[in-house]
Amino acid sequence: MKTILLPKITESFHTEIPLPSSKSESNRALIISALAGGKDNLSNLAEARDTQTMMRLLASDDAVADVIDAGTTMRFLTAYFAITGQHKTMTGTPRMCERPIGILVDALRSLGADIQYVNQEGYPPLNLKDFHFSGNNHLQIRGDVSSQYISAILMIAPLLPQGLVLEITGELGSKPYIEMTLKQMEAFGVNIQRDWDNMTLIVPSQKYQPIPYAIESDWSGASYWFSAVALSEHDNAQLELLGLKENSLQGDSVITQIMSHLGVKSEYTDRGFKLTKIPANTSLEWDFTNCPDLAQTVCVVASAKKVPLTLTGIESLKVKETDRIFALQTELAKMGTKLEEVEKNHKYLLSPSDTLTQPTSIHTYDDHRMAMAFAPLACLMDIVIEEPDVVVKSYPSFWKHFERIGGLGN
């Protein structure tokens, strides 16, 4: 097992972080651009392995599309290969093949896709063959499982002969990610009618335009630097995060609001956001329905700063790269913190210990966000991160950037 020792960061830091590009924006832009027939029209694409995998598979004629562990890539490419009538076998890592995809497959089948399961019903691998439009242009799809199913269907909707009326049923999670999809679709020239009162989206049949499009920096990746400022023992610690927009499409930009309660002030500059320390609140309650990828980051900061935290909207964390709720419960316990479910599938309570204990090491569960969420603990103590290379999934340059704040002993 590979590990990395992060010695305690003893000096203050005042530097810039050149954030990576948004994986979420990149992956959507790649699919939309491919549907538009665009070539070389995208700039500032993410270095994340998920995005590089998407690019490789879009350019490949191979019969097997192995997405490795990239859930977004699996879902978006399944819809893309289906609507374009490509014969593909969609597969991935063992964990990827344990992540459900039945809701998306059912929706694509109802539109006319020929998709068969290779092994277990409802899970990859999948065999995709032809697409013959069924005549159905009205779909219902659950909103409480994964917004990526909805985004995958929306992006192919303009290519359907009669367009699509998409009705979202139940509670809707991660709505900002759906809005990101819609706004990127609109940027590529399509018209969409939103009726959020009735949870219905109408996409007429039309053509995308292959326009030049630049990707914003990644707010999910930015969250770990908010943590570093929050946990620094030096009141004059300061970071400027480069490449972020003041009015972002990314739902995780809400980290500015969350961290204002946990000790970080953020101010927009022409280049991004400047972070400085402020006093933290004595407790915090937050609904993560629209920003589940921030939950690990916030839990670690709240635990280390001894701020009791009430979390709702984190049910989807159970079916991510790992069961992130279990992973958090296990690793936070090493710090003396309890994360307990107090209402079934609804509310969790994080209760920090009065005395912060030092974990011997942090297990990362093949999950990039576990590694990056716990790394800022180095502001308070020596910390060992197991399998640190998992960060390549979304932020390959993370450890290089960590050196800029005095991490890794530099």
Amino acid code (one letter) for 242: L
Give every CB contact of residue 240 below 8 A, 6+ residues apart in sequence.
Answer: 15, 16, 17, 269, 271, 272, 273, 274, 275
H/E run at residue 287 = strand 284-287
293 annotated active-site: yes
Cβ density class 12-25: b for 16+ within 10 Å, e for less: ebeeebebbbbbbb
Task: Considering the candidates 50, 218, 293, 367, report the single residue annotated as catalytic.
Answer: 293
Count of other CB atoms within 10 angstroms of residue 211: 14
Alpha-carbon distance of 231 to 229, in angstroms, equals 5
Asked whether the beta carbons of 150 and 178 are under 8 A apart, the reply is yes
**Residue whose tokens read 């998306």:** 104
- Residues 381, 362: Cα–Cα separation, whole Å: 13
Whole-angstrom distance, CA of residue 241 vs CA of residue 152: 30
Q: What is the CA radius of gyration of the chain?
A: 21
Distance of CA 230 to the CA centre of its chain: 22
Kindly state the tokens that stand for 190: 């399509």
The first and second tokens of residue 96, run together, are 């990827």
Contact 345, 315 (CB under 8 A): yes
Q: Quote the CA–CA distance of 26 and 221 in Å, as a whole number.
A: 14
- Residue numbers annotated as active site: 293
